[in-house]
Structure 1
Amino acid sequence: MSTTHSADALKGSVTSYAIWADDGRRLAEFYAAALGSEVGEPYSDEHGNEVAFPVTVGDTMYIFWTSSSFTAPAWPQQDLPFHMDLAFPDAVAAEKRLLELGASKPDFQPGGDHWTVLLDPCGQPLCISQAQPS
């Protein structure tokens, strides 16, 4: 017996992104500050240790997991499993603020005038750019 579903019934939606780090709390605090949000109630592992830290922005949740086996990619030599692109009304001021929050700026900058690459506090690349006027 075959089951049929309408196309709309099978459309999924992304509700969260999970991002591993050597210190999930530190990374959650960094991105919460960068995105004007707060770190939510942490999730604990089976031993009661806080290991996952949610940050909600709009309808999307980012969950920053602490992983003892995490190592940051050796960018640009290694391909990236993911990276975030963040746009700001004032990209110059945002860069300064993100550096104050613990990001670093690598020498290699492939974006020219279009974007700037930073490394978040766990060493993962992120790109920042000027928000386009709406």
Structure 2
Amino acid sequence: MTVSSSLPAAVGSVASYAFWGPDGRALADFYAAALGWRVAEEFPGEDGTPTAFLVTDGSTRFVFYTARNFTAPSWPEEELPFHLDLAFDDVPAAEERLLGLGATKPAHQPGGEYWTVLLDPSGQPFCISGGWSADS
């Protein structure tokens, strides 16, 4: 199916990736430490209390929000609409470090030798691996 339009094609880019959890600052601190990035900025909520926290390496940005009614997904029973895949040169060392930062490792590991599933401090799954080859 071809869709035609008289409007010019929109060109966009991703400004940031946003995540919610019970404590946005704790998630920001976790992912900043996990990736070797930094928490660069905080944004206040309606009451003036910081509720959103920007983590960056200077080119990619994640924003972690505090959500009052956040509930972690019941994975693997529930399918995930989105999750992170993080790549590390030394996956076993990264796993050990991430577990030390507060991640947990669920019993269900569907990735076999290709990736490992961990849960961040809010209970949301993310994967770690050696990355993808250029042919993937």
TM-score, structure 2 normalization: 0.89
Task: Quote the Cα distance in structure 2 between the aligned partners of 1:88 and 1:114.
Answer: 12
Matched, 1:86 2:86: yes
Question: For residue 89 of structure 1, what is the amino acid of its counterpart?
Answer: D
Sequence identity of aligned pairs in percent?
58
Task: Quote the Cα distance in structure 2 between the aligned partners of 1:4 and 1:85.
Answer: 35
Matched, 1:112 2:94: no
The one-character-per-residue Cα deviations of 1:28-47 (angstroms, maximum 9, x if unpaired) are 00100111111122100121
Report the alpha carbon displacement of residue 77 of structure 1 after superposing the two structures with TM. 0.2
Runs of 4+ in 1 over 2 A off after TM superposition: 131-134
Structure 1 residues 46 and 107: CA distance shift in structure 2, 3 A: same
Task: Quote the Cα distance in structure 1 between the aligned partners of 2:118 and 2:41.
Answer: 27
Decide whether the 8 Å contact of 1:38 with 1:56 is kept in 2.
Answer: yes
Matched, 1:103 2:91: no
Task: Quote the Cα distance in structure 1 between the aligned partners of 2:37 and 2:74.
Answer: 29
Partner of residue 3, structure 2: none
RMSD: 1.7
1:67-78 → structure 2 map (5 Å cutoff):
67-78=67-78
**Paired residue secondary structure (1:52):** strand
Task: Quote the Cα distance in structure 2 between the aligned partners of 1:24 and 1:40.
Answer: 13
Task: Quote the Cα distance in structure 2 between the aligned partners of 1:81 and 1:23.
Answer: 20
Unaligned runs of 5+ in 1: none
Partner of residue 11, structure 1: 11
Report the alpha carbon displacement of residue 101 of structure 1 after superposing the two structures with TM. 0.2
**Paired residue secondary structure (1:53):** strand
Partner of residue 40, structure 2: 40
TM-score, structure 1 normalization: 0.91
The one-character-per-residue Cα deviations of 1:2-47 (angstroms, maximum 9, x if unpaired) are x753x3xx11100101100001000000100111111122100121
Report the alpha carbon displacement of residue 79 of structure 1 after superposing the two structures with TM. 1.1
Task: Quote the Cα distance in structure 2 between the aligned partners of 1:26 and 1:102.
Answer: 10
Report the alpha carbon displacement of residue 80 of structure 1 after superposing the two structures with TM. 1.0
